[in-house]
Structure 1
Amino acid sequence: MAALAAVANCTGGSDPQRPGSPGGPGSDRDAQRNGPAAPNHPKRAGKLIGDGSMSDTGPQPGQLRPRRLKPGEKPPQFVVFSWDGAGQDGQKLFSRFRAVGKKYDAQMTYFLSGVYMLPAEKRDKYDPPRHSRGASSIGFNDVKGVKDTVEQLGAAWREGNEIGTHFNGHFCGPDDGVGTWSPSEWIDETRQAVSFVQHWKTNTGLRGGEPLPFDYGKELVGGRAPCLEGQKNLIKAAKKLGFRYDASSVGGRQVWPKKIHGIWDFPLQEIPVPGRSYETLSMDYNFLANQSGTTKGDPSKRAAWGRQMRDGLLAAFDRAYDGNRAPLFIGNHFESWNGGTYMRAVEDTIKRICPRKGVRCVPFKQLADWLDAQGPGVLRRLRGLDVGERPKGGWAKFFTAEPASTHSAMPAKRERE
């Protein structure tokens, strides 16, 4: 268990200028994608939606085309890197990790906070559950910040990444935080988050800006609740929201995921903390909480803290990769906590694991696609494997009782549209 409370925090402040402030055998790819991602894939003209903030440019490029495992085939090692409260500010961490993803063939999930699409002078358009109109525990944005974030969201989507939601005001705590919200309040909160994306041009006055290349109302299929609170009622709302998964649960183990009321449950997982007897959640903030308890800790220790996080992530990866092949879920924030040591740790982790044979660094949405393509018997047997447990007799014998796939094997290379 984690040494400290199992909370993934997105500390925030009131600064409106700074969002988020306080594979298959014989190949390292087991499925093709439905087309190359940008920049090789040219921008497609699309039909404008609503006030022109979004456009329909067709299917998202670079998506995994899943197939069922064959008898005796080893599952891919899925790794999901996700970012809470994704937005572009002066640190330019969104664009930095887009570049990292392209370099190491890692597609990711970016959980957008809806208020980052709303300039501070328009804050009254946000009417949060159980709080006064215009309230938020994190900063709103300015017009330039919205414009910069839109550019990153559009480019990220063209590159095959997922744009999920981190909802809006980031309200936490036992009194009026998201953990107290009803299903209907979750639905209202989510619809507002979508609306801020759908009307960013109206709300900023940037009528001439390039629209997002997708319809967020259709693309949005999952999110992560602030502070990992409120999943019980959020799951109840998920079906009406059109969600396929939720990434809000806490303290998951490195085993194959299951569904809750028809929604995939993708929790942050307990992973090793090198040099310690306990485990902590697979998120940058939780390493920080166990190391310094502050975002501005002792500079002389920061490099060691970063190495500890990186080595913990690698240890978690190794025990899955060499064991039960359960997906690894890694959560992060676009923050320079403790001198940016956690950003460097995440980048180094991506560099070391995503190019490896049999590894697929994908968004949550693509993982859900793959899981839904498998037979129920395959998933049931996979879930029977404990943390780090290898199948007795090896993978060649593990699925021998399962029928062969009706899906043909797919070439390793990506196919151009």
Structure 2
Amino acid sequence: MRDISRRGMLGLGVGTAAALGLAGCGTGGGSELSRPAGREEDGQVGDKHSVKPIGDGSTAYTGRQPHQPVEPVPLQPGETPPQFVIFSWDGAGEVGNGLFPRFLKLAEEHDAKMTFFLSGLYLLPEYKKPLYKPPNNAVGASDIGYLTDGHIKETLKYVRQAWLEGHEIGTHFNGHFCTGTGSVAKWTPAQWRSEIDQATSFVKEWRTNTGWTDLPSLPFDYDKELVGGRTPCLLGRNNLLPVARERGWRYDASSPGGRQRWPEKHLGVWDLPLQQIPFPGHRFEILSMDYNVMVNQSKYSTRAPSYNYPGWRTQATQSYLAGFRRAYETNRAPFFIGNHFEEWNGGIYMDAVEEALKGMAGQKDVRLVSFRQFVDWLDVQDPAVLARLRRLEVGQRPADGW
């Protein structure tokens, strides 16, 4: 989506002399079978509870979220762990390019669930931008663009649809500040509290802020739904984590430069980082995000000459699949892939994500889930079993079997 990550993620190639820059559920088998879909009729969704508006009616309690897996169970002795794959989306706004509905449709076709890290600012009309008071920045400032009224309405539509179809709604916070004195890297815990309060208020009060009364509520209690997020540019997490813990968040997906190993907790919060994955044709690895693939291919150009596109599309697809296979065939570490609803370089990275998902879906033991569903699974496992899994290095199979 436009300007979502011009100064976003770390585009690192392992072994290179310098970084290439700062920028910008499925349940594939096993015991995690999906519950029947909840009906939506006569004001009922989820578990058929009547809609109960929250606050100004921007959000509402509608019962248990539909299309969730059955309750997870601990691994049994000798049981092979599932291969979890989590596709996530930073910003999660629809700006008329059809990418949000495209990937909702793809998820439905392959019984996949995803995490959408919604930028709260995408539900705030630009003429109301004085309501946003970003830490260390001017009132109303933002390094990503405000959406048009029409695009806010589309975003509301697809966020609502995503939740009803079983996907998770997390947060990407608000203004996406990555450089200078106002960078999120310099925010204090108190400033993160302010940013989170504002991000959630823009979701919970979009009706008041827009004046629109003819659109349905978002069908969830965001205070309960929100259990994790990803910071802009993967910066500032050290001061965010204490705040995440005090708010009861269960995970953080902001750590840069993770490796394909089983995760652990920091300050009581699951650390679920983007990961270094193979980059075909090179000796270094890159982070598992569309922006980082683009940076390493085109050196920040989002409109490179089109003759590059076929080869780059193939390389991006193969990179994702190589990361998947390395985990799937060895230590079964969860695989995290980050994305943006962008059309960089002719949209080839969206094509690559789609082809990679198709190549993973349906394989034995593969679970395409949201971050929330994954931590649900982690939290019921025997700590000793998880500790044993964490001892496996990248690409290492258990010597004595599972």
Q: Output the TM-score relative to the length of structure 2.
A: 0.91
Residue 5 in 1 paired to residue 12 in 2?
Answer: no
**Partner secondary structure for residue 62 of structure 1:** coil
What residue in structure 1 maps to residue 106 of structure 2? 100
Q: In structure 2, the residue corresponding to 1:323 is in which secondary structure?
A: coil
State how far apart, in whole Å, the 2-side matches of 1:189 and 1:381 are: 38
Aligned partner of 1:263: which letter?
Answer: V
1:91 aligned partner, one-letter code: N
Matched residue, 1:322? 329
2:244 aligns to what? 238
SS at match of 2:328: helix
Q: Deviations over 1:108-150 (max 9, x none)?
A: 0000011100010111110110111111111112222211111
Q: CA deviation at 1:51?
A: 0.8
1:7-406, aligned counterparts within 5 Å?
Answer: 9-10=23-24, 28-36=29-37, 43=45, 44=48, 45-64=50-69, 65-293=71-299, 294-395=301-402
1:195/1:235 CA distance change after superposition, 3 Å: same
Q: Percent identical across equivalent pairs?
A: 51
Give yes or no for contact 2:136–2:181 (8 Å, CA) kept in 1: no
Deviations 1:301-346 (A, max 9, x none): 1121111111011011111101000000000000000000000000
In structure 1, C-alpha distance between the alignment counterparts of 2:337 and 2:317, rounded to whole Å: 11
More deviation in 167-176 or 104-113?
Answer: 167-176
Q: Map 1:397-416 to 2 at 5 A.
A: none
Identify unmatched segments of 5+ residues in structure 2. Answer: 1-12
Please tell me whether the aligned partners of residues 33 and 63 of structure 1 are also in contact (alpha carbons under 8 angstroms): yes
Contact 2:20/2:295 (CA < 8 Å) preserved in 1? Answer: no
**What do the CA deviations read for 1:264-311 (whole angstroms, capped 9, x no partner)?**
000000000001111000001111111102101120011211111110
Larger mean CA deviation between 326-335 and 61-70 belongs to 61-70
The whole-number CA distance in structure 1 between the counterparts of 2:313 and 2:90 is 19
Q: Please say if residues 30 and 358 of structure 1, whose CA atoms lie closer than 8 Å, have aligned partners that are also in contact.
A: no
Q: Please state how far the C-alpha of 1:376 moved relative to its aligned partner.
A: 0.6
- Report the 3-state secondary structure (helix = DSSP H, G, I; strand = E; otherwise coil) of the residue aligned with 2:329: helix
* Contact 1:46-1:57 within 8 A present in 2 as well: yes
Consecutive unaligned residues in structure 1, runs of 5 or more: 11-26, 396-417
Q: Give the deviation of 1:184 after TM superposition.
A: 1.1
Question: Paired residues, what number?
Answer: 380
Residue 50 of structure 1 aligns with an amino acid whose one-letter code is G
1:179 positional shift: 0.4
- Amino acid corresponding to residue 164 of structure 1 in structure 2: G
CA distance in 2, matches of 1:208, 1:278: 52
Give the 3-state SS of the residue equivalent to 2:330 in structure 1: helix
Post-superposition Cα deviations, 1:47-75, rounded to whole Å, max 9, x if no partner, equal: 01111111100111122321100111000
Distance in 1 between residues matched to 2:30 and 2:397, nearest whole Å: 21
Mapped to 2, the partners of 1:115 and 1:269 lie a distance apart of 27
Q: Is the 8 A contact 2:85 2:369 kept in 1?
A: yes
Scaled by the length of structure 1, what TM-score is found? 0.88
Deviation per CA, 1:206-257, whole angstroms, max 9, x where unpaired?
Answer: 1121001101111000000000100100111111232110000111000000
Which letter does structure 2 place at the counterpart of 1:9? A
| Distance in 2 of aligned mates of 1:93 and 1:80 | 18
**How has the CA–CA distance of structure 1 residues 38 and 361 changed in structure 2, closer, same or farther, with 3 Å as cutoff?**
farther
Displacement after TM superposition at 1:79 (Å): 0.3
Contact 1:7 1:250 in 2 (8 A): no
Looking at structure 2, the residues matched to 97 and 39 of structure 1 have their Cα atoms a distance apart, in angstroms, of: 22
The structure-2 alpha-carbon separation of the partners of 1:269 and 1:320, relative to structure 1 and needing over 3 Å to count, comes to same
Counterparts of 2:38 and 2:317, CA distance in 1: 28
How far has the Cα of 1:393 moved from its partner? 2.4
Query: Which one-letter code corresponds to 1:30 in the other structure?
Result: S
Give the superposition deviation at 1:174.
Answer: 4.9
Q: Is the 8 A contact 1:272 1:280 kept in 2?
A: yes
- Secondary structure of 2:294's match? helix
**Superposition deviation, residue 34 in structure 1:** 4.0
Kindly indicate whether the alpha-carbon contact (under 8 Å) linking 1:8 and 1:286 is maintained by their aligned counterparts in 2.
no
Once the two structures are TM-superposed, the CA of residue 35 in structure 1 deviates from its matched residue by 3.8
